[in-house]
Amino acid sequence: MKKDFSRSKLAIFASYIKPHGKAFAIDMALSVGIALVDLIFPYVSRWTMRNLLPQGLFRTFFTVMAIMLAAYVLRAVCQYFVTVIGHRMGTLVEADMRRDVFTHMQTLSYSFFDRNRTGVLLARVTNDLFEIVELAHHGPENILTCSLTIVGAIIILMTINPALTLVLVVLLPACVLFGVKQRLRMQSANREVKKRTGEINAAIESGISGIRTSKAFANEEAEDEKFDIANEAFKDSKVAYYRAMGLFHAGMEGAVGLMQVAVITVGGFLIMRGSMNYVDLVTFTLYVSTFTAPVRKLVQFMEIYTQGMSGFDRFVELMRTEPEIQDAPDAKILTDVKGSIAFEDVSFSYNDGTKVLDHIDLRIKPGETVALVGESGGGKTTMCHLIPRFYDVTGGRVTVDGNDVRALTQESLRKNIGIIQQDVFLFAGTVMENIRYGRPDATDREVVEAAVRARIHDDIMQMPDGYNTFVGERGVVLSGGQKQRISIARVFLKKPPILILHEATSALDSVTEKQIQDSLDVLSSGKTCLVIAHRLSTVRGADRIAVVDGMHIAEQGTRDELLALGGAYARLERAQSDK
């Protein structure tokens, strides 16, 4: 069930605990049992010293002590199950959060990923949630048991000596106030650590991904310098966090020590006045230890809390990020696609105000192949991104079969569009898995048929494990032509009525380009096809060519018509023929 992230953070956190309510209840019940044993022992000790030992009831004394020993053995068993069950629950909560944040990121728009680096997002899905295990487990448990122990100890101590108890009650708020103040300081420092961790992850990811480029330009030293900057910032933030943590721990330990010294001092004074006996002071001292134990635990918990909540805050922040591109409430499912596309008075600007397209008009008939050419940065790629709604127009509209793409569901729209790009992304799996990505429910036979049509089957059969050959990270073990033909096989498998070919052959040698172009000719037969190309030789067979220049379509027509005009297209062809 989809969670409501507009609620308070406490309610959101509770919603992740709720599915594991049984484990949570067992964990809390066992924790209460542990607290009760800690509370009972000092009271029983006082009773035995005041009633059993003075009367010589030694057998009864040892019987009571045996019972208390059994109680502590049971306490140890409870502690074991609290640790196991609690941490298991915390792990499940962490896994649920990681699943939700990854699924949510799949819904976010292109613009979100334009603004956020991969390494930073990776930190949010991994590092930020690590501490949630401890927080989900120790949070509710520590709050319950510490509160029960402290309140229970104060009540019992009031029955022994109200005056001495008041000394602790007076010191406790000062201790708590100091802890809260330092906790906030730690939380602020920890947020900075999280931020720097994301940045250093991004630097590492960039350095590893671009290792071939840095080696090719002999720029390893420059990469080291960039990493050192991020690493120094991370180190400084971590040191600042540990300073805050050190002050917090030292202050809390000092406060606990102060309470112990105050009890002995005031207790000794009361004994001198004859208003307290040694047995009660010993009992009181035992209870102070019981009292201070949860205070020490809270000290430890504060660190867990600051780390866990810092990560949880960033998790909630990401989950509250809404995709800029969303389906309309009454969005239609696109069916029976003929393939007509129209840009009607289309304008587009990025969020920072950069204008890319200005009042574009272009109509593409079903089954027609239209090529977009022009200088880099003219808006060709943006036009292609507007069709599947990777971005939304800021003026005018884009239609498919007469339907405004904003009135269609994104899933149905994109299922009818096949995109082949120059920079092919292959997943770190097998050849079979990468081709099947075009249609996950395809049979092995259909995958092979798609590979045959893409003219990559023979290459695959020469690989070590055929279709089960692992392609490596981003397809590193394959050539550029092989990766491109695998991407074409994906689209053969998908069978979309609309194709977008984005510089599909520009990075290939002439022989491989011819092979790929033959595959693309077969693939595009009978389909509406929009081609972006810088090599004009690859688009001479297009039904129509549109020259995108200066945010506008400067001219359009067949190649012969454009050459006869002697305008922008003719200048592009002359420029390429002169090279």
Six token digits for residue 218: 């002999």
Q: What pLDDT score does 400 carry?
A: 93
Q: What pLDDT score does 508 carry?
A: 56
Q: What pLDDT score does 361 carry?
A: 92
What is the DSSP-derived secondary structure letter of residue 108? S
Q: What is the pLDDT of residues 309-329, one digit of tens each?
A: 877 888 888 888 888 888 889
Q: What angle do CA 278, 283, 285 make, to 5 degrees?
A: 95
Q: What pLDDT score does 386 carry?
A: 92
Q: What pLDDT score does 74 carry?
A: 93
Pairing status of strand 544-549 against strand 369-373: parallel
Ordered strands of the 417-421 beta sheet: 417-421, 498-502, 528-532, 369-373, 544-549, 552-557
End-to-end CA distance of the chain: 60
| Contacts for 562 with CB less than 8 Å, ≥ 6 apart | 545, 547, 555, 556, 569, 570
Distance CA 545, CA 536 (A): 10
Six token digits for residue 369: 């192949």
Q: What pLDDT score does 511 carry?
A: 63
Q: What pLDDT score does 333 carry?
A: 93
Q: What pLDDT score does 575 carry?
A: 78
Global pTM? 0.67
* Number of Cβ within a 10 Å radius of residue 274: 7
Q: Which of 441, 432, 423, 422 is nearest to 495 (CA)?
A: 441
What is the DSSP-derived secondary structure letter of residue 20? G
3-state secondary structure (DSSP) of residue 360: strand
Six token digits for residue 434: 């990468």
Distance CA 40, CA 57 (A): 20
Six token digits for residue 174: 């000062």
Domains with residue ranges and CATH for the chain:
9-319 (1.20.1560.10), 341-577 (3.40.50.300)
Q: What is the pLDDT of residues 81-117, one digit of tens each?
A: 988 888 888 888 888 888 888 888 888 877 777 777 7
Low-confidence ranges of the chain (pLDDT < 50): none
Query: One-letter amino acid identity for 278?
Result: Y
β-partners of residue 363 are 342
Q: Which of 286, 355, 371, 266 is nearest to 42 (CA)?
A: 286
Report the sign of the C-alpha dihedral through residues 224, 225, 228, 233, in that order. negative
